[in-house]
Amino acid sequence: MWSLGVILFILLTGYPPVEAATALDPRFRMIRDGQLGAMLKEWEVLLSHDAVDLIQRILKVNPYERLSIDDVLSHPWMRDTDLNQEQEITEGESKNAM
């Protein structure tokens, strides 16, 4: 699940969440300490509360505390139908801009 969290983080932000998953990496420490939202705010990356919650709950250092795949699939961010509508609007706006 950790890898899924890293990939999701990169897809949504364009950046890897950590340089190295060790206590020496300040970004790792922020994620470990539940400060993902604060880190993204510092980077001026805007994500929805649900997206941040999902990533934070996947990127738990202790694998037993991470969400299961069933938990991920039932998470509000994954089930948000408004995301599909927003994507359709964005695609429509892109076509109109051409």
Give residue 81's pLDDT: 63
CATH of 2-97, one of 3.40.50.300, 1.10.510.10, 3.40.630.10, 3.30.720.200: 1.10.510.10
Per-residue pLDDT of the chain (98 residues; tens, 9 = 90+): 999 999 999 999 999 999 988 889 999 999 999 999 999 999 999 999 999 999 999 999 999 999 999 999 999 999 876 655 555 544 555 444 44
Q: Which residues of 12-23 are buried (b: 16+ CB within 10 A; e: fewer)?
A: bbeeebbeeeee
- C-alpha distance across the termini of the chain, in Å: 39
Give residue 90's pLDDT: 46
